[in-house]
Every structure is written in C-alpha cells, then in structure tokens.
C-alpha cells in the first residue's frame, strides 16, 4: 500500500514537470511558423554621369583695390559726408577743406600776373601773352640813346679824321656809344626777364588754382568706405589719411593650390565660389597665377576674380572654390541619401534577390547630382535610399 502511494506521487510529479516543457515547445513551434515582415525600401541606380572635373580649394576674399585717400594740400577739414560702410562712386567728392586761404592765394597770384602783364605793355585783363620785346618802352629808349650815340660817334670820327677834333674828345664820344650799346643790350635782357616773369606768374596762378581745386577730395574708384580717419575741424597735413576705400566689384579670391593639382590650372578657367553667410554660388574666373611655388607648403598661389555685382560678398570672407579644370568627366554617382557614415566609414546598402547587402565605399566629390564613388560599388547596382538602421542580410521589398 505504501509502495502504491509512492508510485502515484512520482507519476503526478513527472506530469507536472513535463507540462511547461511541452508549452515551451509548442510556443517555439509557433515562432518558427511565423517570420518578421520584410522592410519596404526605395532604391536608385548607381550610374555614370558626365560631370565637371574640379580642383577644390579654400581661400579668403580680398578687395581688388584698396586705396587710402588723403589731400594733396594741408588745411582744416570743413566737411566729410561719408562714414564706415558708405557706398561711393568713382569721381564722387567725399571730403572738403576750408578754402579761405586758398582763395586768397589765387587772388594774390592773379594780381601778380596782372602786374607782370602791365610791365610788358599788355592789358591786365586780356589773355594774350605774345609780345615783341623791341616795342617795349625800355628797349625803345635804350635803342634811341644808342642811335644818338652812334650819330655822335660818326660825326666825331669825321672831325677827328680831318684833324678838327682832339683824340681825347673822340675817345670820349666812342666810349659814350659803347655805353649806350651796352644799355640797349641790358634793356633787351630786362625785356626777356619780364617775359619769363610773366610765365612764372602765370604758373603761380595755375598752381594756386590747382591747390584750390585740391581742397576737394574725390574717390578714384567705386566701392565702399572701409575706414574713416578724420573729423570736421581737424587740421590735416598733406597726405594725412582721411578715408580708405575698397573696391567691391569684382573681388579677388586668393587660393593655394597643391602642387599635384596645380598643373591643371589655366588662365580663364571658370570658378564656382561659395561663401558662408552668402546664399548661392558665385561665378568667377582664374585671373592670375603665381610663376613659382611656395617652398614652405608646396602650393601655388592662384587668384580668381569673383563677380560681386549685387555686393553681397565682403572682403575677408572665408570661401570654398571649385576650379573647373575639365568638362564632361565621367564619374560613378549615387544619391547622397544612400550614403551612411559611421565612425568615419562610408557605407551603402545594395539590393540583390530581396536581400540588403552592406558595402563599404570610398567616396570622392559631392555634387548636386550625387556622391562620387571611387570604389566599392559597380555601375548598375541598386542602392537603398535612406537606409537608417538597416543591417546586412535584412530582407527588403523594393517599392
């Protein structure tokens, strides 16, 4: 009886232990019977396209011209209507000196010129300057005295030859003629001196007028005021900086091209420039190329003229430039949305027979048309767009 009871308890214990195992097996069997749904994805073809071959560099924009302006004459600043950031045009006046002293000098020089004209027998107000020095009063007087002395000398010579005039009186008459002749030459020299003085006075008047004109400071180039250095009422010496003007159109982009790529750079090649903070792409062209490499970093200085007609670019801005060295270059491209980067490694997922396959790639340039693939993908392969957290070997359905 005791043995039968023990046998019944053992059977009950074995039955209770086997029930969970069977349930687990049943659950496992149901799991094998149902699989997770395949992910729906969109794909694009990796295909070759004709793109521009570029040399990508960075640099800094600079003004094509920067001019420090100052007056040619000294004086007190009377007006300066421009300030930092003011837009100016070529030939525009930007500053003016007090003209009182300069106007007085013009009047003084004009009066001296009139005096010189009068001394030459010319009208003070007339503009003619030609004069015959033989017609001047001092020359006429000296010539008349010389002619009279010559006549006396002729009469004295006749009387001396006839023995009617002592030699001492003849010598005195001869000396008087020589003195009169010398005075005539001196009068001619004086007339020529007055002519030269007239030319000098005329030049002094022109200088005074030019100095009066120089009291207004004009801009030699169009651009914007980069710096103002003077204020109204300040006394300025000749050449003292008053303002600095920078030319805004075109700008000059200075870039250092590595030696291995410099051989492809040519004058006139188109350049696409992008600047942080300035929307869009700005067009330029290679304008200047240095004749020698920089020995310290083995680069070649290349300057690009960048169009800035809208004046949205500013000198000193950091810029990215794409120099188009060849057009129609064939490259394998995939959409930028298909490239996943993790831990510095670029990857794409390709689809084959409904299965995603992860491929590591080596990328080149990024363009508006896509990302250039240098290695890892072949033309015609399908790449998954926006793969997200996709894993290698995952089942996919292409929509």
Question: What does the domain layout of the chain look like in residue ranges?
Answer: 41-52+331-398, 55-63+248-327, 66-98+216-246, 100-212
Look at residue 29 in the predicted model and tell me its pLDDT.
37
Whole-angstrom distance, CA of residue 123 vs CA of residue 108: 18
Of 18, 37, 20, 38, the residue nearest 28 (C-alpha): 20
* Average confidence score pLDDT of the chain: 87
135: Cβ–Cβ under 8 A, 6 or more apart, which residues? 121
Tell whether omega for the bond before 250 is within 30 degrees of 0, i.e. cis.
Answer: yes
> And the tokens for 49?
């396209």
Taking residue 368's Cβ as centre, other Cβ atoms within 10 Å add up to 7
Whole-angstrom distance, CA of residue 378 vs CA of residue 340: 17
Look at residue 35 in the predicted model and tell me its pLDDT.
57
Look at residue 28 in the predicted model and tell me its pLDDT.
38
Rg of the chain taking only CA atoms, in angstroms: 50
* Cβ atoms of 44 and 382 closer than 8 Å: yes
Look at residue 30 in the predicted model and tell me its pLDDT.
38
Burial status of residue 156 (CB atoms within 10 A of its CB: 0-12, 13-18, 19 or more) = buried
53: Cβ–Cβ under 8 A, 6 or more apart, which residues? 264, 324, 325, 326, 327, 329
Which residue carries 């837009």 as its tokens? Answer: 87
Overall residue count recorded for the chain in this entry: 399
Whole-angstrom distance, CA of residue 348 vs CA of residue 340: 6
Q: Do domains 41-52+331-398 and 55-63+248-327 have the same CATH topology?
A: no
Structural domain 41-52+331-398, CATH architecture: Beta Barrel (2.40)
187: Cβ–Cβ under 8 A, 6 or more apart, which residues? 136, 138, 139, 141, 142, 143
* Cβ atoms of 74 and 243 closer than 8 Å: no
Q: Quick one: CA torsion of 52, 57, 60, 61, rounded to 10 degrees?
A: -10
> And the tokens for 95?
């500053």
> And the tokens for 30?
């149901």
Q: Quick one: CA torsion of 308, 314, 316, 321, rounded to 10 degrees?
A: -40
221: Cβ–Cβ under 8 A, 6 or more apart, which residues? 65, 67, 90, 245, 247
Ranges of residues in the chain whose predicted pLDDT is under 50:
1-2, 4-5, 7, 10-34
Strand spans (E) along 248-277: 251-258, 270-275
Look at residue 344 in the predicted model and tell me its pLDDT.
85
109: Cβ–Cβ under 8 A, 6 or more apart, which residues? 201, 204, 205, 207, 208, 209
Task: Give me the CATH code for the 55-63+248-327 domain, please.
Answer: 2.40.30.170
Fold of 66-98+216-246: OB fold (Dihydrolipoamide Acetyltransferase, E2P) (2.40.50)
Look at residue 130 in the predicted model and tell me its pLDDT.
73
Q: List, for residues 112-131, the tens digit of each pLDDT value.
A: 999 999 888 888 876 666 77
């Amino acid at each position: 009886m005791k043995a039968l009871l023990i046998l019944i308890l053992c059977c009950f214990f074995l039955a209770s232990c086997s029930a969970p195992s069977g349930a687990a097996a049943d659950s496992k069997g149901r799991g094998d019977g149902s699989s997770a749904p395949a992910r729906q994805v969109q794909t694009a073809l990796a295909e070759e396209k004709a793109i521009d071959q570029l040399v990508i560099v960075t640099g800094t924009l600079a003004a094509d011209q920067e001019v420090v302006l100052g007056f040619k004459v000294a004086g007190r600043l009377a007006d300066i209507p421009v300030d930092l950031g003011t837009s100016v045009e070529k030939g525009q006046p930007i500053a003016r000196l007090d003209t009182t002293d300069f106007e007085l000098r013009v009047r003084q020089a004009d009066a001296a010129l009139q005096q010189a004209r009068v001394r030459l027998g010319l009208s003070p107000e007339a503009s003619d300057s030609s004069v015959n020095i033989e017609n001047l009063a001092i020359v006429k007087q000296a010539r008349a005295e010389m002619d009279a002395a010559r006549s006396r000398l002729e009469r004295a010579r006749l009387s001396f030859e006839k023995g009617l005039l002592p030699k001492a009186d003849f010598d005195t008459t001869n000396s008087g003629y020589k003195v009169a002749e010398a005075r005539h030459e001196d009068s001619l020299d004086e007339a020529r001196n007055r002519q030269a003085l007239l030319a000098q006075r005329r030049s002094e008047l022109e200088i005074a007028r030019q100095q009066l004109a120089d009291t207004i400071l004009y801009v030699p180039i169009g651009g914007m005021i980069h710096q103002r250095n003077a204020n109204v009422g300040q006394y300025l010496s000749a050449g003292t900086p008053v303002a600095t003007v920078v030319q805004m159109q075109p700008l000059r982009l200075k870039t250092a091209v590595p030696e291995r790529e410099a051989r492809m750079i040519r004058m006139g090649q188109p350049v696409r420039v992008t600047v942080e903070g300035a929307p869009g792409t700005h067009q330029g062209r290679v304008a200047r190329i240095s004749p020698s490499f920089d020995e310290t970093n083995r680069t070649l200085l290349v300057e690009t003229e960048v169009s800035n007609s809208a004046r949205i670019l500013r000198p000193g801005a950091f810029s990215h430039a794409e120099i188009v060295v060849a057009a129609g270059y064939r490259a394998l491209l995939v959409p930028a949305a298909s490239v996943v980067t993790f831990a510095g490694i670029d990857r794409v997922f390709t689809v084959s027979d409904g299965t995603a396959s992860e491929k590591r790639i080596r990328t080149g340039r990024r363009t508006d048309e896509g990302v250039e693939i240098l290695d890892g993908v072949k033309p015609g392969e399908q790449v998954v767009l926006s793969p997200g957290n996709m894993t290698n070997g995952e089942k996919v359905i292409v929509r």
